[in-house]
Amino acid sequence: MDVCGVNSRADVLASSLRAVGVQRGSVVALALDRSLDLLAGLLAVLRTGAAYLPVDIHMPRQRIAHCLADARPAAILTQRSLVAAGRIRWKRHGAG
């Protein structure tokens, strides 16, 4: 992915974040490997006016769960592989 690709991906992600209610003042957790996807995610969050919460995906699962429960992010940007492996589990606050 080149710079234009990162920019395009950030635009798409920012639009998706806005569609789920992320706005200025929201918190978005970023649980991603260090990659161009992480850069695109950072740019997307900043474009929405939200704050980002970096999540170290190498922390123990319980610590990640505690951090997410404490921060109550409006959204999480992560990778399917981390969800499938059970590294990231999150219940949106207010969800039943």
28-79: per-residue pLDDT in tens? 999 988 888 899 999 999 999 999 999 998 999 899 989 999 999 999 998 8
The answer to whether position 96 is within a domain reads no
Q: Which helix (H) or strand (E) holds 71?
A: helix 61-71
The answer to whether position 8 is within a domain reads yes
CB 95 within 8 A of CB 89: no
The answer to whether position 53 is within a domain reads yes
The structural domain count of the chain equals 1
Sorted by sequence, the CB contacts under 8 Å of residue 1 that are 6+ apart come out as: 9, 36
Distances (CA, A) of 6 to 39, 45, 64, 67: 7, 13, 27, 28
Give the domain range for residue 79: 3-84
Q: What is the reported pTM? A: 0.82
The answer to whether position 65 is within a domain reads yes
Residue 49 one-letter amino acid: G
- CATH number of residue 13's parent domain: 3.40.50.980
